[in-house]
């Protein structure tokens, strides 16, 4: 299974999701490829936001070595599933889809059309965002996709 997590800048939510899912997959002995990307180009090559690194570390997950990259059309070929954090990310990723098969790979990370809020402007959101992502990643692991 190859899974890509996508948010806006690839420094807050999607690196958290990549780190959490990778950690859970390793603990289950799953040989999954997990990556993350942003729809924007502002943070290419940058490490995750220090607040994401901190909250991940508090839960035993190290994302400090990750680096930002931008989502591209080639990601549709590389990944089986593409999970996005919010509806804006969803629309941005779908705009690059070349086919219905590409479109079918894309879905919101949370169930029932819920969005993972962007914690960038509110330090207090990082822990709740981590918890949302963790629960979603557990669901992915338990469902095998």
Point out the catalytic residue in the list 23, 75, 86, 118.
118
51 as an active site residue: the answer is: no
CA-CA distance, 114 to 90, in Å (whole number)?
A: 12
Q: Does the annotation mark 137 as catalytic?
A: no
Distance CA(44)–CA(38), nearest Å, equals 9
CB-facing half-sphere around the CA of 130: CA atoms within 13 A: 19
Distance CA 106, CA 88 (A): 13
Asked if 98 is an active-site residue, the reply is: no
Catalytic-role residue among 13, 22, 51, 69: 13
**What whole-number distance in Å separates Cα of residue 26 and Cα of residue 121?**
32
Residues with catalytic roles = 7, 13, 118
């Amino acid at each position: 299974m190859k899974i890509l997590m996508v948010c806006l800048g690839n420094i807050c939510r999607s690196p958290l999701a990549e780190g959490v899912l990778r950690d859970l997959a390793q603990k289950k002995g799953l040989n999954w490829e997990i990556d993350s990307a942003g729809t924007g180009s502002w943070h290419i090559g940058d490490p995750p936001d220090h607040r994401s690194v901190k909250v991940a570390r508090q839960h035993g997950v190290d994302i400090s070595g990750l680096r930002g990259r931008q989502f591209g059309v080639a990601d549709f070929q590389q990944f089986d599933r593409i999970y996005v954090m919010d509806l804006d990310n969803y629309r941005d990723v779908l705009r690059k889809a070349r086919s219905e098969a590409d479109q079918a790979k894309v879905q919101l990370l949370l169930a029932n059309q819920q969005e993972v809020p962007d914690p960038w402007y509110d330090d207090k959101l990082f822990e709740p965002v981590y918890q949302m992502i963790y629960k979603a990643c557990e669901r992915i692991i338990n469902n095998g996709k």
